[in-house]
Amino acid sequence: MHGSSAFLESFAIVLCVAAATTVACQRLKLPVVMGYLAAGVLIGPHAPPLLVADKDTITTLSEMGIILLMFSIGMELSVRKLIEVGPKSGAIALIEMGLMLFLGYLIARLLGFTPVECAFIAAMVSISSTTIIARTFDEQRVPQRLREGVFGALVIEDVIAILLIAVLTTLAMTQSFDIGALASAAGRLGIFLMVLMIVGMLVVPRLIRSVVALNRPETTLVTAVGVCFAAALAAQRYEYSVALGAFLAGCLVAESGEGHRIGVQIRPLRDIFTAIFFVSVGLSIDPLQLLAEWQLIALFSAVVVLGKFVGITLGFFAVGSSVRQATQAGAAMGQIGEFSFIIIGLGVSLKAVDPRLFPIAVGVSCVTILLTPIAVSRSARLGEWIEARLPRPLQTFASLYGTWVEQLGRAQGTSQVRAKAKRLVRLIVVDALLLVAILITGVIGGDELAAFLKKRLPEAADIMRWLVVVGFVVLAAPLALGLFRLIRALGHELAISALPPAPEGGVDFAQAPRRTFVVALQLGITAIVLLPCFAIAQPFVPGIKGAVPLPVILGVAAFFFWRSATQLQGHVRAGAQALAEAVVVSGKVHGESMDDMEQLLPGLGQLQAYPLLATSAWIDRSLADLNLRAQTGASVLAIRRGEQSVLTPDGKEVLRAGDVMVLAGTHDAIGAAKQLLASTSRLE
């Protein structure tokens, strides 16, 4: 009875204190998760002993929270959901997570952590918190389009996080980056996953559908939770993470087609035990230890906020979002949360990392969670500020790039374009994997050969090491050149499909925009391919030598991009001259419609001549005050004022009644711009 009494007492203390702290956090407009963590601190061993819960009991309950949380995530990540989010979300996640894994490992290595600890730290800083973002978005009512883009990227992040948990479990068991041990452990893991998924696919979907057919919600709930804990137990018995087993169970349940219904039923249970999980994290928080590690907490918090902002912003912009929307997404995803706790907790439990990393992870999470609502609320203005301070060639490029991606999306509907793109993507993936494999083999083989010869033939050791390096270059150079040729071909193919050349013998007015689009696509594809490759290969390259080529390659690509963007500026100015000559004061066009002008001047996006009414709030205000590009994504190519024309006007240009503005941008951007220009009150 004593044990039962202790359990009941701990359970009651946790829920009552968590309820009080979360109410306080909501009154203070702080994230609810902070309340759970605060509850853990208050009832933990590092606070005055007013209310003390049994740590072992809470830890056991928190493991149930992890299992149910991962089970819910698995149910949301069905194959159909992954297809829905599409390649755009995948590209965003690869850029962002590749950058964060690369930075996390590099900085941890410079700080003197072991290679295994560096891998866990890199994973810790790379995964955003779906829970925090969802609640922040609900509180601040962000636009639906931004929500869809961010949650699409989070879906891919969660999938990669599960893969990282599987890899890190293997790494923790081997305690090294030994290829043989890793391959053996990965093989065992692969067999376990294959058996579990094959048996599960044959049994679980049919079982769930048959139970749901009984129309008894409690029976459905009990069955689903039973499947969840059975898979978690199977994973534990084979010395793998219970989180991995629960996630796979969720995926199997989702394949029954009843995942949404079961998710609604299981949500209250999941929320209770997830809260206990965060409380258990708070139990381990020692405020004095957090103060002692404040420098590392501040450093990794900066890495998370700045690194994710750069990676997510670039990723969203690369797939066609405006600078403003990309900035909002980058600000929203600048935190770590539940997955980071699970990953570091896994490393501590398997004795693969120093236990002091757990409070560091908690400290980083607290700092970044507190910053997230502030960053989201101010991200729109930050996007406008960044947009307004870009160099003119980049402003022009940013205003047109979204229209090119929109045209590319329409062109991707043709089977011929899809087939060519898929073939090139497959070849790029194969070449990249082979290049990484040769790099890792060359480094490890060179070290082992040098160590062997140092014992037998000391005088030949250095010579053989150089021979290994030369051999690696001979093998890798053709693959590297082939990889960049494939990237160049893919960028050219996509750009041609979006901005087709003129018929033979005709004037190719799309040449300058297409050239810039090709370079931009090549730069984006290079980042998508190289960032994950460098993140994978980095642990096997001694020192920081492996980090040097990446900024060099991206810097060279950025130089060529800048040069093409500068040439685009001249093309746009010439196009603006033609449009301004066509437009008359009434807003009509001499002889041709704007659709005809779009055909004549491809690459400038959707064109719209908009006469500025005398009732507009923006009369006698400058374009800098209007900030049209930052607020809507549309750009002013020219202004026709009587018989005069203002080409590619700058921010100092003052708007007058009767001005006919030639706007360019995507369909949505043009609509937003017209609505803003027609408003009778200015946005402050």
d(C-alpha 338, C-alpha 181), whole Å: 29
Q: How high is the pLDDT of residue 590?
A: 44
Read off the pLDDT band of 1 (50, 70, 90): very low
- The whole-number average pLDDT for the span 480-486 is 88
Q: How high is the pLDDT of residue 515?
A: 84
3-state SS of 628-667 is: HHHHHCCEEEEEEECCEEEECCCCCCECCCCCEEEEEECH
Q: Which residues are CB-contacts of 262 (< 8 A; sequence separation ≥ 6)?
A: 75, 208, 220, 221, 224, 253
Read off the pLDDT band of 492 (50, 70, 90): confident
For 606, the 3-state DSSP assignment is: strand
Which among 219, 295, 288 is positioned nearest to 258, based on CA atoms?
219
Statement: residue 305 has pLDDT above 90: yes
Q: How high is the pLDDT of residue 587?
A: 45
Which among 617, 612, 566, 546 is positioned nearest to 585, based on CA atoms?
612
Q: Which residues of 195-207 are buried (b: 16+ CB within 10 A; e: fewer)?
A: ebeeebeeebbeb
Token digits for 277? 């999980």
Which of 257-266, 428-437, 464-473, 564-573 comes out lowest in average pLDDT? 464-473
Output the pTM of the full model.
Answer: 0.82
Which of 232-246, 451-465, 649-663 comes out lowest in average pLDDT? 451-465
Tally of CB atoms within 10 A around 143:
12
Q: Can 2-389 and 583-678 be said to share one CATH topology?
A: no
- For the chain, the domains span 2-389, 393-563, 583-678
108-117: long-range pairs with CB below 8 Å, 24+: 109/544, 110/544, 111/296, 113/354, 115/176, 115/177, 115/539, 116/171, 116/172, 116/175, 116/176, 116/177, 116/347, 116/352, 116/353, 117/347, 117/352, 117/353, 117/354, 117/357
Statement: residue 233 has pLDDT above 70: yes
- Of residues 381 and 573, which shows the higher confidence score? 381
Q: What is the pLDDT of residues 598-634, one digit of tens each?
A: 665 666 767 777 888 878 888 888 877 777 777 777 8
Match 């994997």 to its residue by tokens: 433
- Per the CB < 8 A criterion, the answer to whether 533 and 435 are in contact is yes
Read off the pLDDT band of 684 (50, 70, 90): very low
Q: What is the pLDDT of residues 529-563, one digit of tens each?
A: 888 888 888 877 766 666 677 788 878 888 888 88
CATH topology for 2-389 is Na+/H+ antiporter like fold (1.20.1530)
Tally of CB atoms within 10 A around 229:
17
Read off the pLDDT band of 155 (50, 70, 90): confident
- The whole-number average pLDDT for the span 104-111 is 90
Statement: residue 275 has pLDDT above 50: yes
Domain boundaries 583-678, CATH class: alpha beta
Q: How high is the pLDDT of residue 300?
A: 94
Statement: residue 83 has pLDDT above 70: no
Which among 317, 319, 316, 330 is positioned nearest to 382, based on CA atoms?
330
- The percent of residues above 90 in pLDDT, for the chain, comes to 7
Q: How high is the pLDDT of residue 180?
A: 64
